[in-house]
Amino acid sequence: MVVKVFIVMGVTCSGKSSLGRALAERAHYPFFDGDDYHPVPNIAKMSKGIPLTDDDRLPWLNTINQLVISHLGTGAVIACSALKSYYRQIISSPNELEFIYLKSSKELIVERMALRKAHFMSSNLIDSQFHELEEPKAGALILDASQSIATLLDKISHYYAIT
């Protein structure tokens, strides 16, 4: 397999971190959760149910981009919402990445959010996540987030020839 940097993207509670960890283990790459790189003011806003602006997200996106750049030769899996095309451009510039989009229904996310414990994201932000979302038109592997991690991992492994 050619060394790759994978971005597992989607709205909150779509399974980015769970799938990302499993993919990283299978590919023998390090895993990074984009949530761990949010500045404290961003976390405070999201905890209060206040949607982030593009200006709020820019330093975080630049940090994710630096993480990508530092792993181009060795590979990595990064969980990152990457909701807008513009955000994906910032993350990937000037490099080509492999985006894996976990497409989900609002109903599934509401259900998963109700089960989620100890996370800063407020359930009030589900609507804003779907409002901000610009689904990738091309250049991403699109998967159904309602499927099991094992099924998704098998599909990714087959698609990218990961053994």
Q: Which two tokens stand for residue 125?
A: 């932000």
The number of helix segments (H) and strand segments (E) in the chain equals: 7, 5
If 0-12 CB within 10 Å is exposed, 13-18 middle and 19+ buried, where does residue 157 land? middle
- d(Cα 50, Cα 44) in Å, to the nearest integer? 9
Residue 2: pLDDT over 60: yes
Q: Which of 3, 50, 10, 4 is nearest to 34 (CA)?
A: 10
- In the predicted model, what is the mean pLDDT of residues 98-103? 97
pTM value? Answer: 0.90
CATH number of the domain that 113 lies in?
A: 3.40.50.300
- d(Cα 121, Cα 67) in Å, to the nearest integer? 22
Say if residues 47 and 91 touch (Cβ distance below 8 Å).
no
Say if residues 155 and 24 touch (Cβ distance below 8 Å).
no
55-89 pLDDT per residue, tens = 999 999 999 999 999 999 999 999 999 999 999 99
Q: Which of 29, 13, 11 is nearest to 156 (CA)?
A: 29
User: Which region among 7-21, 91-105, 137-151 has the lowest average model confidence (pLDDT)?
Assistant: 91-105
User: Which region among 1-5, 36-40, 85-89, 148-152 has the lowest average model confidence (pLDDT)?
Assistant: 1-5
Residue 1: pLDDT over 70: no
Q: What's the total number of domains in the chain? A: 1
CA torsion, points 161, 24, 40, 89, in degrees to nearest 10?
A: -10
What residue numbers bound the domain in which 11 lies? Answer: 5-160
**What's the pLDDT score for residue 69?**
95
In the chain, what percentage of residues exceed pLDDT 90?
69
Query: Which three-class secondary structure state does DSSP give residue 143?
Result: strand
Residue 119: pLDDT over 60: no
- d(Cα 27, Cα 155) in Å, to the nearest integer? 13
111: confidence class by pLDDT, cuts 50, 70, 90: confident
- CA dist list (Å): 59 to 22, 53, 134: 27, 11, 20
